Structure 1
Amino acid sequence: MQPTRRERHETLDQHNNEAAHVELQPIAPKQPGANDALIPSDRINPRRSSLQRSREQHRRPSRPSRGYDIPESYRNLDEIAAKGPIQDREEQQPNTYENLEDARSRGREGTQEQAESESGDNGFSTDAQDPGREAQSMRVSRLATQIYTVSYLILFSFLGTLARLGLQWLTDYAGAPVFPSVWFNFGGSLVMGFLAEDRMLFRDEWGTPTYEHQIQKAKRDEESGGTSGSAEPAVDLAAAKKAHMATKKTIPLYIGLATGFCGSFTSFSSFMRDTFLAVSNDLVYGSSTTSPRNGGYSFMALLAVIIITVTASLAGLIVGAHIAIALEPVTPSLPYLVTRKVADRLAVVLAWGCWAGAIVLAAIPPADYWRGVAVFSLVFAPVGTLARFYVSLWLNGMRPAFPLGTFAVNMFGTAVLGMSWDLQRVPLGGVVGCQVLQGVEDGFCGCLTTVSTWVAELAGLRRRHAWIYGGASVVVGFAVMVAVMGGLRWSNGFAALKCVH
């Protein structure tokens, strides 16, 4: 009886987790148990030896492998824990959908297996099979890995914030059909879907120049139902894809793009702000104006904002994944040496240098509105991104069915945005104070809260848990906005801004 697709994946994940070497690992036998009868040993051993020969034959002799020492807590980032939105790319496999909860629990088991593998307890230690590997291995230290990761998060928080502000200004025009927050929430979710499904940008990080050739060979073998006629051993296609995904998610640059850029490009707090403004009849964009209406129409406006934002963001996630699949033949790969030796080090200089420059510019109160919004937003943006990153590391792993980290930062950021919105609209302070509060809204709150991670979690959770998590996020977020902004709106009302918005 052939092993199921899921059993093959679970077996491979014992050696190919986020902290594993970037080279393909042999498939280790399962521990004795009730399911041993389902996988005959005479079927597993030939595959294991085939994968081992393939790995030894195609290892790069001229360039030593160099992996990042990723902290184990990085598994709690749902941007890198969740599977790609499209799990059956060829639409030929049976439905073996894997949700976020299974992936997280299986990742914990893989951690224990990896520790045993590295200690040599199970007899499949890579270093034991290749005595020269330890001498050739050049692993980036944990401290350097964390510095690179934080630097990428800071750098991409700038880019995500500027992209969000720019798209917001571009889409707020006369006669605009939708409110501007739909655009950047859709765009950030689209980029997230692309990154989750892409297998080409970080192909060189795999560490073997023949990886793509092996994938193509395995595809030909799969389509023909036999061998391609080549004498070289084939790589298990599903195993190679799964291992490549695990390798990609251990790279600081990928974490910076998924957590830093996409999380800063989207904003859950802006989404909640628009839901409250729709209820209070204050949602004005483009050339639109408000007119008195009854509570029924306000309720319909509330539903419209929620439906449009959630469906557009989920659609963006799926569209991004489809784009990654469609562009796979022409998508370039980031050069290995450029990424490791140039980009990582350059990111450290640019990130901290740009942040220091933004702080210096903010110390000189800018007169122009656009400078005030951009500068103050950039000062607060890294704070929000790093806070979201570390809160997710701390809380997301506690309850896989309900990501507490993402929920906590979204609710807290929503409350802070509501408070800043109120302080801007009371007859106190001046222009600079108004600009600082706008920077808190667009920079800190915009980067602390995220829609891209939220919809990725919704797409990855079991259906029942996704409805509970998504519904709780929207209901609690809206309740927070009513509690914070409702008192001022329905008592004294919102005063005119002292800085143009």
Structure 2
Amino acid sequence: VFASLILFSMMGVLVRVYLTRLFTYIGEPIYGLIWAQMVGCFIMGIATRTKGVLMRYSPALNLGVTTGLCGSITTFSSWQLLVFVQFFNTARHDHTRFKNFLGGMSVLVSTLACSMGALYLGQIIGCELRLLYDTKLLGGRPSSIRRGWIGWNEWRSVDLALGIVGILVIAASVIVIALARNTRSVSIALLFGCIGTLLRWRLASLNRGSKRVERLLPRFIADLPLGTFVANVIGSAVLAIVHVLQTGAVIQPSATSCYVLTAVADGFCGCLTTVSTFAAELSALESRRSMTYAVVSIVATQAFFILIAGIYFKTATIDYPVC
């Protein structure tokens, strides 16, 4: 399981980073990160409708695709950072406050709409793929879902392959960090991303509900997927701190510290937070709880950005990132 999460997490980081770079250029019609969000949600939509097929081959494969790959391709924290940047006009554009508000809402609504649309499209295609698999390969019998932990005697070739490849990818990342200077920030991000993904996976246990937690929180929050909510809020708070540090507000960053800060933003924060799971949960909840979940998640993360970075950018003399 760990090897599967690590392997697919690294793949997700690479897809997100290079998709964003590919679609980021002068005169871009829409910001590049939205493409990564759509790709991750699209794959998540397919995976949610073909879970039985994936579980039939390997439960670790299903977990790797959904939690590892999709969760790492998409990122809630970077999305909310873009919203914050527009709301607070940190680039110091000659805008009115109303235009700043419009900019923030444009990033907020466009990402949410495109992500949900990609998820629904993936679910439609996933249903067709599941039907094709059941009719062509299983003779009409529905693919079963295997539950529970895998014992050592039950390991399949897929699980073993995932474990071996995961170890090799980690070793390759360490070598690249040591030797390839031009890709060092991405390589470090791969390792930080594994930590973020594993932490998000552990926090997902809160989604199943805990009576102790429910007693401590208001009812309207306790009924929500707390694991994803906590992961998104924590990751966004860490990214707000990183964003301030990248401006040289506290210390003057060196080349090495810039590598690390970028890696924390792209790796740890990017993988700890997720839009794909967030979108899947929104589609699964009934309408009132879904709207509550979306509003509470966005308001909470923006509150942390305002408390951590907003005050600084309103008083700072440096208005551009050093890193």
Q: TM-score, normalised by structure 2?
A: 0.83
Q: Which amino acid in structure 2 is aligned with residue 417 of structure 1?
A: L
Determine which of 8, 32, 36 is the counterpart of 1:180: 32
Higher helix share: 2
Report the secondary structure of 2:315's partner residue.
coil
Q: How does 1:415-426 map to 2 (within 5 A)?
A: 415-426=237-248
Q: Alignment length, in residue pairs?
A: 294
Q: Does the CA contact (< 8 Å) of 1:396 and 1:406 recur in 2?
A: no
> 2:83 and 2:287 mapped to 1: Cα distance?
24
CA contact (8 A) 1:401 1:461 kept: no
1:325 aligned to which of 113, 122, 127: 127
Change over 3 Å in CA distance of 1:495–1:484 after alignment to 2? same
The residue type paired with residue 349 of structure 1 is I
Query: 1:403 Cα shift?
Result: 1.0
Q: Distance in 2 between matches of 1:181 and 1:153?
A: 22
Q: Secondary structure at the match of 2:45?
A: helix
Higher RCO, Cα 8 Å, sep 6+? 2
CA offset at residue 444 of structure 1? Answer: 0.3
How much does 1:188 deviate?
Answer: 0.7
Which position in structure 2 is the counterpart of 1:382?
A: 194
Could you say which residue in structure 1 is the equivalent of 2:81? 273
| Root-mean-square deviation (Å) | 2.5
CA distance in 2, matches of 1:264, 1:314: 17
Cα displacement string for residues 26-68 of structure 1 (whole angstroms, at most 9, x for unaligned residues) = xxxxxxxxxxxxxxxxxxxxxxxxxxxxxxxxxxxxxxxxxxx
Say which SS state the counterpart of residue 422 (structure 1) adopts: helix
1:300 aligns with one of 102, 113, 121? 102
Quote the Cα distance in structure 1 between the aligned partners of 2:289 and 2:36.
Answer: 26
Distance apart, 1:329 and its partner CA = 6.2
Q: 1:314 aligns with which of 116, 119, 124?
A: 116
Alpha-carbon shift at residue 352 of structure 1 (Å): 2.6
Distance 1:494 1:317, change over 3 A: farther
Report the alpha carbon displacement of residue 178 of structure 1 after superposing the two structures with TM: 1.1
Task: Describe how 1:233-272 pairs up with structure 2 within 5 A.
Answer: 251-272=59-80
Letter aligned with residue 421 of structure 1: H
The residue that corresponds to 1:140 in the other structure is: none
2:203 paired residue among 391, 408, 413? 391
The correspondence of residues 83-162 of structure 1 with structure 2, limited to 5 A, is 149-162=1-14
Letter of the 1:447 counterpart: C
What's 1:99 paired with? Answer: none
The answer as to 2:158 corresponding to 1:343 is yes
8 Å Cα contact 1:192/1:452 also seen in 2: yes
Q: Which amino acid aligns with 2:60?
A: P
Query: What residue ranges of structure 1 are gaps of 5+ in the alignment?
Result: 1-148, 206-247, 284-289, 334-338
Correspondence for 1:407: 229
Q: Which residue, out of 46, 49, 52, partners 1:197?
A: 49
Q: Offset of 1:310 from its aligned partner?
A: 1.0
Q: CA distance change for structure 1 residues 326 and 494 in 2, over 3 Å: closer, same or farther?
A: farther
Alignment CA distance shift 1:420-1:380 (3 Å): same
Report the alpha carbon displacement of residue 327 of structure 1 after superposing the two structures with TM.
4.2
1:198 maps to amino acid: T
8 A Cα contact 1:198 1:328, kept in partner: yes
Q: Distance in 2 between matches of 1:294 and 1:495?
A: 17
**SS state at 2:186 partner:** helix
Aligned to 1:121: none
Q: Which amino acid aligns with 1:169?
A: R
How far 1:181 sits from its partner (Å)?
Answer: 2.0
Amino acid at match of 1:177: P
Q: Which residue of 1 aligns with 2:172?
A: 357
Structure 1 contact 430–498 (Cα < 8 Å) conserved: no
Is the 8 Å Cα contact of residues 278 and 298 (structure 1) preserved in structure 2? Answer: yes
The code of the aligned residue for 2:236 comes to T
- Flag the 1:198–1:297 CA change in 2: closer, same or farther, 3 A: same
Report the Cα distance in structure 1 between the residues aligned to 2:209 and 2:119, rounded to whole angstroms: 23
1:367 pairs with one of 181, 199, 208? 181
Kindly name which structure, 1 or 2, has the bigger radius of gyration based on alpha carbons. 1
> 5+ unaligned residues in a row in structure 2: which ranges?
138-153, 215-221
Structure 1: distance between partners of 2:51 and 2:268: 32
Instruction: Write the deviation string for residues 65-104 of structure 1: whole angstroms up to 9, x where unpaired.
Output: xxxxxxxxxxxxxxxxxxxxxxxxxxxxxxxxxxxxxxxx
- Output the CA distance in 1 between the equivalents of 2:226 and 2:172: 34
Deviation at 1:297, TM superposition (A): 1.0
**1:292 match: secondary structure:** coil
1:365, 1:432 within 8 Å by CA — same for their partners in 2? no
- How far, CA to CA, are the matches of 1:188 and 1:163 in structure 2? 9
Instruction: Determine the C-alpha separation between the residues in 1 that align with 2:15 and 2:156.
Output: 27
2:176/2:184 contact within 8 Å kept: no
Answer yes or no: is 1:169 the counterpart of 2:24. no
- Matched to 2:103, the amino acid is A
Does the 8 A contact of 2:51 with 2:62 survive in 1?
Answer: no
